[in-house]
């Protein structure tokens, strides 16, 4: 029995949605083993929500809207803090995006165009990547498209529950402001639509004015707490980062903005060296559309322009404005990062090829239409295979991708998770919101936390008899081998193309090592205490022709946020500090009471001969980077180690 046209449409949309879900889940299971620090920070924030932290706006990095992290927290409350919870959240919103895109496009155009649009989006490399990133990006186009679908349903003349639909649309539109910055542009599509109707269809304008105002009012009320919070706290910094080209334009220099516009316009089909350059989100230089889809895009764009100008077709007009508004962030900031910043235009980007295909199918007859449908199936099959090849063979195996997704750190953490015990992990970025954030979404052992440090300049010695010290090539065991003679216990395998390899593991008695260092290597100091945080136990100084390498040994009392250590070389003649080094490579946030750690500072030799006292001390950086003295019994917030004479 032959299926009706409507059943065929439902059959194919089911195939596309199930295929899209399956593809995204497949990519999760076969993805490079790791996450970026941005993704880890999302997981860290979501886990904080699970444990009672309820901010209206996250200040991690340069600031972040909260909806994605709260959504991830719901899943984490069920399955734990693993980073796959974030990825599943992205998969969910990517499927919402596909469903909302189909719903709106079917209402605004027809079922066939809707199916073709969703198929293009579902199996595109861009759509797949945004749907797998554990980032908030995907939430914005998903919710905005859903709000457009609800709005489109509400403005139907025959709809007797118009206000109800508009309130729902307003709630969803208001929620978009809690997703991603481009939402602050996208809402303008609705006033633009009212203006269009005022110019082209006065009767429709009169019908739509009141319900549209209801929707925008509801959206504004929902968004108001966020904007009030940002205005009163100054928590948001990202807008200042992205305003460079606009500031240059206001000063009369149009060249940065023009350069960004040209690069952004190439993103569709001919990006090349002017396109996305970040392996983290895309294949550098790869345009959004494949060559065939690109040709169809321009044909569809021409069709939409013709319908807008000649037929005053509302759906085509809104699609064109949607495309421009979604591309606007990339037009301002340039193609770098466009995979995320231009995500708002994803639903309509694949609408334009669908318009071209729909028009081509409509002009065919009989057997020609059958051949046309076969060609369409072949096109989307090739699109799927191209995406799979680009992902599995090109992107996932690129060494830069494995670096960006911290494969080395995740491999080390997985080893810690499998073997247990006390572990201290060396990392080139041991600060709280970088590599250590990954611990929460992989190991997360509150009773036995991982210690973090940079082994090139520091060494953490936990107060235990058996400790696993893990080092990679980019945060090597330089300090360990300088003071301790010990052989590695394990070497973890990594991909032969990985740049930060190998991972070397030492299983040692760190309690005994500390005792040996204090007895044989470090010069003991009096019981000098740094506030309530740490005790200076000893120091070791190595002289070379160009510098003094000053290593201090500390015992932890308790952790503290934002502490930095310094070593100053003081000139008693000029009463100045000609050389000063400030760094702490064993971040104080991760200190554990009773542990010891070594901090090494390389201080250049002074130019003039003389006697130079060496001082060590600490300061805390506040939110505005002001130096706050640490209360302690150091003389003038520092302790004089010794006086060295430069001949």
Residue 159 phi, psi (nearest 5): -80, 115
**Domain tally, the chain:** 3
CA dist., res. 523 & res. 520, Å (int): 8
Find how far residue 501's CA is from the centre of its chain.
Answer: 24
CB-CB neighbours of 7 under 10 Å: 10
The answer to whether the CB of 475 falls within 8 A of the CB of 456 is yes
Q: Are residues 349 and 417 in the same domain?
A: no
Q: Is 342 helix (H, G, I), strand (E, B) or coil?
A: coil
Q: Are residues 370 and 483 in the same domain?
A: no
The answer to whether the CB of 92 falls within 8 A of the CB of 10 is no
Nearest CA among 137, 308, 154 for reference residue 216: 154
Q: Are residues 132 and 276 in the same domain?
A: yes
CA dist., res. 214 & res. 208, Å (int): 10
Q: List beta partners, residue 426.
A: 453
Tokens of 202: 């006065």
Q: In this predicted structure, what is the pLDDT of residue 22?
A: 67
Half-sphere exposure of 103 (CA within 13 A, CB side): 19
Q: Are residues 371 and 466 in the same domain?
A: no
Q: Are residues 337 and 299 in the same domain?
A: yes
Question: Is the CA virtual torsion 288, 94, 227, 64 positive or negative?
Answer: negative
Q: Are residues 389 and 466 in the same domain?
A: no
Give me the domain span that covers residue 637: 522-646
Cα dihedral: 363, 368, 369, 372 (round 10): -100
CA dist., res. 500 & res. 475, Å (int): 9
Tokens of 177: 């402001």
CA dist., res. 504 & res. 468, Å (int): 10
Nearest CA among 134, 122, 106, 133 for reference residue 45: 134
Q: In this predicted structure, what is the pLDDT of residue 9?
A: 63
Q: List beta partners, residue 602.
A: 549
Query: Does 58 fall in a domain?
Result: no
Q: In this predicted structure, what is the pLDDT of residue 629?
A: 37
Q: Are residues 489 and 527 in the same domain?
A: no
Q: Are residues 98 and 123 in the same domain?
A: yes
Q: In this predicted structure, what is the pLDDT of residue 333?
A: 81
CATH code of the domain containing 554: 2.70.50.60
| Mean pLDDT for back-to-back runs of 10 residues, the chain (647 residues) | 58 68 62 79 92 90 89 93 88 91 93 92 89 91 96 78 87 96 93 93 89 94 94 72 68 78 82 72 87 94 94 93 92 82 92 94 79 87 88 86 89 91 92 84 85 95 94 90 92 86 93 94 83 87 84 92 84 74 90 95 80 79 40 40 49
Q: Are residues 632 and 528 in the same domain?
A: yes
Q: Are residues 430 and 472 in the same domain?
A: yes
Query: Does 38 fall in a domain?
Result: no
Q: In this predicted structure, what is the pLDDT of residue 555?
A: 95
Tokens of 82: 């693993």
Query: Does 74 fall in a domain?
Result: no
């Amino acid at each position: 029995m032959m299926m009706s046209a409507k059943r065929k449409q439902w059959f194919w949309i089911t195939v596309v949605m199930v295929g899209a879900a399956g593809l995204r889940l497949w990519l999760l299971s076969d993805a490079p083993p790791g996450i970026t620090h941005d993704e880890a920070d999302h997981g860290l924030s979501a886990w904080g929500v699970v444990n009672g932290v309820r901010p209206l706006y996250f200040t991690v990095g340069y600031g972040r809207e909260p909806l994605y992290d709260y959504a991830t927290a719901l899943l984490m409350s069920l399955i734990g803090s693993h980073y796959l919870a974030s990825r599943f959240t992205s998969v969910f919103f990517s499927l919402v995006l596909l469903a909302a895109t189909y719903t709106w496009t079917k209402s605004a155009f027809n079922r066939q165009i809707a199916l073709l649009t969703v198929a293009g989006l579902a199996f595109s490399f861009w759509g797949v990547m945004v749907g797998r990133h554990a980032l908030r990006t995907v939430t914005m186009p998903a919710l905005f498209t859903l709000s457009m679908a609800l709005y489109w349903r509400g403005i139907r003349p025959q709809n007797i529950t118009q206000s109800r639909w508009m309130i729902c649309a307003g709630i969803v539109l208001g929620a978009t402001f809690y997703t991603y910055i481009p939402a602050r542009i996208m809402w303008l599509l609705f006033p633009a639509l009212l203006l269009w109707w005022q110019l082209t269809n006065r009767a429709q304008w009169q019908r739509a004015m009141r319900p549209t105002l209801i929707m925008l009012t509801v959206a504004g009320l929902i968004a108001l707490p966020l904007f009030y919070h940002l205005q009163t706290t100054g928590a948001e910094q990202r807008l200042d980062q992205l305003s460079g080209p606009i500031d240059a334009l206001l000063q009369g220099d149009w060249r940065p903005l023009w350069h960004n516009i040209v690069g952004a316009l190439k993103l569709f089909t001919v990006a090349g060296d002017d396109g996305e350059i970040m392996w983290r989100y895309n294949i550098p230089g790869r345009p959004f559309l494949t060559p065939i889809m690109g040709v169809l895009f321009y044909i569809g764009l021409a069709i939409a322009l013709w319908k807008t100008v000649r037929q005053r077709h509302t759906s085509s007009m809104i699609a064109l404005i949607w495309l421009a508004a979604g591309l606007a962030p990339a037009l301002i900031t340039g193609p770098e990062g466009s995979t995320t910043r231009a995500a708002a235009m994803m639903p309509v980007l694949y609408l334009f090829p669908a318009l071209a295909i729909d028009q081509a199918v409509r002009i065919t007859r009989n057997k020609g239409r059958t051949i046309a449908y076969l060609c369409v199936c072949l096109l989307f099959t090739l699109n799927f295979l191209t995406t799979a090849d680009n992902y599995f063979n090109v992107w996932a195996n690129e060494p830069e991708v494995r670096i960006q997704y911290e494969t080395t750190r995740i491999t080390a953490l997985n080893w810690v998770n499998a073997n247990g015990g006390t572990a201290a992990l060396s990392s080139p970025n041991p600060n709280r919101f970088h590599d250590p954030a990954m611990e929460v979404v992989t190991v997360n052992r509150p009773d036995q936390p991982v210690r973090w440090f940079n082994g090139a300049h520091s060494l953490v010695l936990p107060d235990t008899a058996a400790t696993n010290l893990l080092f990679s090539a980019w945060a090597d065991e330089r300090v360990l081998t300088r003071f301790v003679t010990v052989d590695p216990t394990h070497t973890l395998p990594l991909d032969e193309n990985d740049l930060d390899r190998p991972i070397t593991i030492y299983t040692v008695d760190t309690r005994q090592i500390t005792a040996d260092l204090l007895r044989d290597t470090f010069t003991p100091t009096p019981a000098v205490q740094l506030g309530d945080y740490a005790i200076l136990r000893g120091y070791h100084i190595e002289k070379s022709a160009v510098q003094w390498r000053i290593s201090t040994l500390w015992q932890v009392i308790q952790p503290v946020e934002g502490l930095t250590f310094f070593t100053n070389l003081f000139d008693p003649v000029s009463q100045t500090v000609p050389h000063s080094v400030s760094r702490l490579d064993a971040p104080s946030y991760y200190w554990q009471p009773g542990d010891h750690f070594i901090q090494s500072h390389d201080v250049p030799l002074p130019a003039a001969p003389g006697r130079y006292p060496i001082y060590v001390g600490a300061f805390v950086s506040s939110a505005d980077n002001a130096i706050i003295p640490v209360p302690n019994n150091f003389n003038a917030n520092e302790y004089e180690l010794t006086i060295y004479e430069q001949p």
